[in-house]
Amino acid sequence: MHALAQSILANARTILINHQTPLSISIGVGTWRPGEAQETFIRKVDEALYKAKHNGRGRVEWAPSAGAAG
């Protein structure tokens, strides 16, 4: 998953907006575990996305696994 997310970031940087500005994206990634509520999973991944944006954009942040502290 990490390699895939990094590949998406690298490919996004090759896209130029108005033929000038490289596209910048931030990605929140998580692994859903059986028994984890969908709402909980989405909230954790959304928090990871906002952490990526806060930490400088153009990066990947991982949501904690189900049952992990944090």
Q: Residue ranges of the domains in the chain?
A: 2-62
Looking up tokens 């991982």 gives 62
Token output for 63: 């949501």
User: What does the pLDDT read at residue 69?
Assistant: 45
Over residues 40-46, the mean pLDDT reads: 96
- The total of other beta-carbon atoms located within 10 Å of residue 43's CB is 13
Mean pLDDT of 11-35: 92
Residue 62, SS3 per DSSP: strand
- Give per-residue pLDDT as tens, 50-70: 999 999 888 999 998 865 544
Q: How many CB atoms sit inside 10 A of residue 6's CB?
A: 13
For the entire predicted model, the pTM comes to: 0.77
Reported confidence tier of residue 1, pLDDT bands at 50, 70, 90 = confident
CA 21 to CA 9: how far, in whole Å?
15
d(C-alpha 62, C-alpha 35), whole Å: 19
